[in-house]
Amino acid sequence: ARLLSALRAFFADGVRRGERSEDPSALLDPPKLPRLLPKALAESQIDALLAAPDIDSPLGLRDRAMLELMYAAGLRVSELVLLPATAVNLRQGVLRVTGKGSKERLVPLGEESQHWLERYLQQSRPQLVGKGKVHALADGQTPLFVEPTLHALTRQAFWHLVKRHAQVAGIDPARISPHGLRHSFATHLLNRGADLRALQMLLGHSSLSTTQIYTLVAREHLQKLHARHHPRG
């Protein structure tokens, strides 16, 4: 693919200079590149990861709430760490998320993530904040999740957090990423019969074609199940 790109640029330049009358590379078909499918964790692995933080400590309770929320709402990492405190509506059980292109969407929290969010807000966050003043986000709002330094977490800090808890859960840290929780959210919903258009809305994809990649993941999962369990597999 890289060689073909170089050839096309070379011959296009020759045509533009008048040194050639046509571009012979136009007759070449591009190679079919393998499509990289998102890597999702198994549901048992998700359970182990969510149970990994030490919820008896303020930071552990915060981590549990973050992991639960990211998996329950299918958030991007940047969306999670930049969530303002005003984005959560526990009474209605929804989360207002500002995604790419400043597009807003409402995502249901689910009972489990709502439970851990309530515990974080009532027990952990007051201990982390103390009598200090939390540093505002770039838009001037107060972050939902904070570090002991009273700043919002960075993407890198959350990445290290996920790796650390993955190790505790017995998951190879090299096989997991923060974005993997979003992929797991989408894959598990689809495997359990979720509608593709609804999944698009929950993920905040502007195009349905972006969401359709998860149908390939679900199909691959079904093929493996068939091969493992069918007598003729």
Q: What CATH number did the domain enclosing 112 receive?
A: 1.10.443.10
CA distance 45 to 171: 7
Assigned domain for 214 exists:
no
DSSP-based three-state secondary structure for 105: strand
Answer whether residue 131 is part of any domain: yes
Range with top average pLDDT, 15-24, 53-62, 84-93, 192-201: 53-62
Evaluate whether 129 touches 151 at the Cβ level (below 8 Å): no
Establish if 209 belongs to a structural domain. Answer: no
CA distances from 138 to 66, 86, 102 (A): 20, 15, 14
188 is catalytic: no
**124 in a structural domain:** yes
Task: State which residues form the domain around 109.
Answer: 43-176
- Reported as a pLDDT band with limits 50, 70 and 90, residue 86 is very high
Q: For the residues 143-166, what does the mean pLDDT come to?
A: 93
Helix, coil or strand: residue 107: strand
Domain contains 22: no
Angle at 206 between CA 202 and CA 209, to 5 degrees: 95
In a domain, 63, yes or no: yes
Residue 115 annotated in active site: no
The pLDDT mean for the chain works out to 85
User: Helix, strand, or coil here: 91?
Assistant: coil
Please pick, among 62, 64, 71, 76, the residue that the annotation labels catalytic. Answer: 76
Q: Answer yes or no: 179 catalytic.
A: yes
CA atoms of 181 and 38, how far apart (whole Å): 10
Q: Which of 100, 155, 175, 224 is catalytic?
A: 100
What local confidence, expressed as pLDDT, does residue 18 receive? 92
Would the pLDDT of 168 be above 70?
Answer: yes
Query: Packing angle between helix 178-191 and helix 155-168, nearest 10 degrees?
Result: 70
**Does any domain span residue 55?**
yes
Query: Which pLDDT value is given to residue 26?
Result: 86
Reading the block at residue 120, the tokens are 């974080």
**pLDDT score recorded for residue 74:** 86
pLDDT score recorded for residue 190: 77
Q: In this model, does residue 17 exceed pLDDT 90?
A: yes
Q: What is the pLDDT of residues 96-113, one digit of tens each?
A: 988 887 888 888 888 999
The reported pTM is 0.73
Which pLDDT band holds residue 219 (cuts at 50, 70, 90)? low
pLDDT reported for residue 9: 93
> Position 15: which residue type?
V
Note if 214 is an active site residue: yes
205 is catalytic: yes
Note the pLDDT of residue 27: 86
- The angle at the Cα of 87, spanning 86 to 93, to the nearest 5 degrees, equals 115
Structural domains counted in the chain: 1
Q: Are 99 and 79 in contact (CB under 8 A)?
A: yes
Q: Which residue out of 62, 182, 183, 188 is catalytically annotated?
A: 182
**Catalytic one of 8, 20, 119, 179:** 179
pLDDT at residue 212 above 70? no
Count the Cβ atoms, other than its own, within 10 Å of residue 104.
Answer: 10
- Which band of pLDDT confidence, cut at 50, 70 and 90, is reported for residue 135? very high
* Any domain includes 98: yes
Q: Is 153 exposed, middle or buried (0-12, 13-18, 19+ CB in 10 A)?
A: buried
**How far apart, in whole angstroms, are the C-alpha atoms of residue 6 and residue 77?**
36
226 is catalytic: no
How many helices (H) and strands (E) in the chain? 11, 3
Is the predicted pLDDT of residue 214 greater than 70, yes or no? no
Q: Tell me: pLDDT of 73 over 80.
A: yes
Amino acid at 173: P
